[in-house]
Amino acid sequence: MSKRKIIFVGGIHGVGKTTLCKNIESRYNIKHFSASNLIAEEKTEEHLRNKQVKNIAGNQDFLVTAINKYFKSEHWYLLDGHFCLLNKDNEITKIPYSTYEDISPSAILILVDEPENIYTRLSLRDSIKYNLALLRSFQEQEIDYADYIKDKLNIPYIMYNTSESEDKIYTFIEDLVDKAVCE
């Protein structure tokens, strides 16, 4: 399958994916979608407030169906989502590799931040207190698996710390879009 014009924006809950995607969307007019919202829309369920997912692998089928339905090959998209999720037992679980094969993104952008900052954001946003060690481990596993996925798919990758200037991200996106135009 050829690569779709999708920039997969990954990172753990509360790292700032939505905020960054909204900034990119307004600057470049690239449509932004949340994987969890696409899954919920496809399943016609409300988005869960708590971050524990009962059927991680099954939900990914709904995501791929939604992408096939809504994403057109001539447009660029930002898809914010995860490489790992917390399962119903609060264990960090990798999303199946086949999901990323089916999504076939053109690039991966992984967001990171200090676990203390993520903890604060999640506490304010969701009123849930997470264990800092869990957040730290969650982020480490998210980074490791994103790195594995980009190597397996052989696609461009950038890790971005949300405390840095967004210029690094904008250069990455411009290079990606310009390269696609030249091909």
Could you read off the pLDDT tens digit of each residue along the chain, which spans 183 residues? 578 899 999 999 999 999 999 999 999 989 999 999 999 888 875 445 445 566 677 788 889 999 998 898 889 999 999 999 988 888 999 999 999 999 999 999 999 999 999 999 998 988 888 899 999 999 999 999 999 999 999 999 999 999 899 999 999 999 998 876 665
Residue (of 182, 183, 173, 164) closest to 76 by Cα position? 173
Residue (of 158, 142, 157) closest to 81 by Cα position? 142
**Domains of the chain: which residue ranges?**
6-178
Q: Specify the DSSP class assigned to residue 100.
A: H
* Dist CA 105 CA 113 (whole Å): 23
- What pTM, to 2 d.p., does this model score? 0.90
CATH topology for the 6-178 domain: Rossmann fold (3.40.50)
Strand partners, 108: 8, 157
